[in-house]
Amino acid sequence: MTTSQHRQTALQQNPDILRGILRGIEKEGLRVDAQGRLARTPHPPAIGSALTNEHITTDYAESLLELITRPHARVQDLLQELRDIHTFVAGKLDQEIIWNQSMPATLPDEKDIAIAWYGTSNTGMLKHVYRRGLAERYGKTMQCIAGVHYNFSLPDAIWPLLGVPGDTLQDQRSNGYLALIRNFTRYSWLLMYLFGASPTLASSFLHGRPSTLEQLDEDTLTMPWATSLRMSDLGYHNKEAQAELQLCYNDLDTFVMRMYHAAITPWPDYEKLGTHRDGQWIQLNTHILQIENEYYSSIRPKRTTARCERPATALAQRGVEYIEVRCLDIDPESPVGISEQTCYFLDTFLLYCAAHESPFFPDGGYCQDSKSNFATVVREGRRPGLTLLNQDKQVVSLQDWGRDVLEALLPYAVLLDQALNTQAHTQAVQAQSSKLDDPEQTPSAQALARLRTSGLSFHDYGLRRSQEQHAALLAQPLTPAQQHDYEQQAAESLLEQARIEARDEEPFEAYVDRYERNLIPPEVKLS
């Protein structure tokens, strides 16, 4: 009996443990005006402080909303909260709507894209200056791309049950999540094929830069077989400095050590920029990474941090707490950007990644074949006859490998369904087979077909669909009690920001210096 079979048997004999799985969502979305242009207004006070409202904040750009749920034990509750937050925000936007596409609406010149503002506190300024650095390093246009982040945690009791090695529960938990991440890296190309939904973009996104994209119309570009331009090198990608950073998911110590060195190692191009221009901060430092979260990846090991605590230090001291899946495009057919079926599939996929054998990556943990597979699928996943390189270094067709993975997922879908008294997981896995049989059934192909049928440009079609989704949210208003609760949270968050700003007496330069010194070398173990 294989390790995976032993683990399936253990889970089958302990079904209650699967009820302890938690999942949460962080969904991004641009604010746009009635014409679909990037909103130039500040973050609306009616939805609270971007610094302190735990449900409604901004990401990189001032107009890029980020709506955050609590962790939930049930998918239905998760999506209901996500819808409630969307509905509250939609009702507070004055002549604006949320753009329900991953690739942005028509953008102004880069100088006119506002960087997210979090107030004058040291915490707020640190977040703002970090984003100034991102603008210097990668440009502001990239800051307007949106996606869905899926946070996922398994109950602590599952790691001993699965026989994950480790001297302590913390070690077992970290080793288990890293094994999950290795398998996710091996198979995440399938997520991009099944759920990628950004095959087109507005011509203005390139700001006149040359490209190999095909022209659908005067205002719309595409790659004919693309699944997710957002996750291609046109969207989120690591520039030359980050290309030098080869993170290792074989063990936490090596992962954290490489992240630590990237966060303390200067990069020549960033040194030329410096940290100040005309007396103003333009980046936190000149290192490969200003902070650890600057590293762009499709999945991250995560640990909740305290104020002024560094992510790498938190991971080194307390281990991995949960994982964050970052490669999901916004589903333009859902008012909240993700469907129930997608969530059930993700839960099954991630449980499989945790329980299935997950050998270490060779060559110091650098998974080049998996990264190449991912890059190929986001750019040309629907190309007829497309082949990938599997972990045995064998060339296989995307369809054949995809069917093998779906078949391997089914036992875990059954386990989840039995534990949660549903059939939704099995149905979610089975529903994906048609996409492998016919690439025209994939969300990317469907999005392209709808756009062509409409006769509209990417911008005009995206605006129409976003307006329809906005109307759908408002058609199901919150209860008076829910409305009051969200308004109270928004008001309290503004007061909390004011309290933080009033308490701050430390000069910002000293705060930045203290934040830098809080990056503790991973080998230093705090008592």
pLDDT tens digits, residue range 93-151? Answer: 999 999 999 999 889 999 999 999 999 999 999 999 999 999 999 999 988 999 999 99
Tens-place pLDDT, residues 160-213: 999 999 999 999 999 999 999 999 999 999 999 999 999 999 998 988 888 889
Decide if 297 contacts 315 (C-beta within 8 A). no
Q: Give the whole-angstrom CA distance, residue 15 versus residue 160.
A: 15
Q: Give the whole-angstrom CA distance, residue 169 versus residue 283.
A: 38
Grade residue 391 by pLDDT with cuts at 50, 70 and 90. Answer: confident
**Burial class of residue 297 in the structure, from the number of CB atoms within 10 Å of its CB (0-12 exposed, 13-18 middle, 19+ buried):** middle
Instruction: Determine which of 76-85, 174-183, 209-218, 403-412 has the lowest per-residue pLDDT on average.
Output: 209-218
- CA 114-118-124 angle, to 5 degrees, is 125
Tens-place pLDDT, residues 10-59: 999 999 999 999 999 999 999 999 999 999 999 999 999 999 999 999 99
Ordered by start, the domain boundaries in the chain are: 3-356+365-517
**Burial class of residue 220 in the structure, from the number of CB atoms within 10 Å of its CB (0-12 exposed, 13-18 middle, 19+ buried):** buried
Helix (H) or strand (E) holding 289, with range, is: none
> What's the pTM value of the predicted model, to 2 decimals?
0.97
User: Mean pLDDT over residues 400-410, rounded?
Assistant: 98
Residue 425 has pLDDT above 80, yes or no: yes
Amino acid at 269: D
**Burial class of residue 423 in the structure, from the number of CB atoms within 10 Å of its CB (0-12 exposed, 13-18 middle, 19+ buried):** middle
Q: Give the whole-angstrom CA distance, residue 10 versus residue 20.
A: 15
Decide if 202 contacts 193 (C-beta within 8 A). no
Give the pLDDT of residue 319: 97
Nearest CA to 345 out of 433, 228, 227, 225 is that of: 433
Decide if 287 contacts 270 (C-beta within 8 A). yes
Would you identify the CATH topology of the domain 3-356+365-517? Creatine Kinase; Chain A, domain 2 (3.30.590)
User: Mean pLDDT over residues 337-346, rounded?
Assistant: 98
Give the pLDDT of residue 236: 55
Tens-place pLDDT, residues 497-527: 999 999 999 999 999 999 999 988 877 554 4
Give the pLDDT of residue 525: 53
**Residue 258 CB: number of other CB atoms within 10 A?**
19
User: Mean pLDDT over residues 415-433, rounded?
Assistant: 98
User: Mean pLDDT over residues 380-404, rounded?
Assistant: 95
Give the pLDDT of residue 242: 73
Mean of pLDDT over the chain: 94
Tens-place pLDDT, residues 223-281: 999 999 999 988 655 566 776 677 889 999 999 999 999 999 999 999 999 999 999 99
Grade residue 2 by pLDDT with cuts at 50, 70 and 90. Answer: confident
Structure-model confidence comparison of residues 367 and 455, the more confident one: 455
Could you identify the residue written with the tokens 């509250």? 88
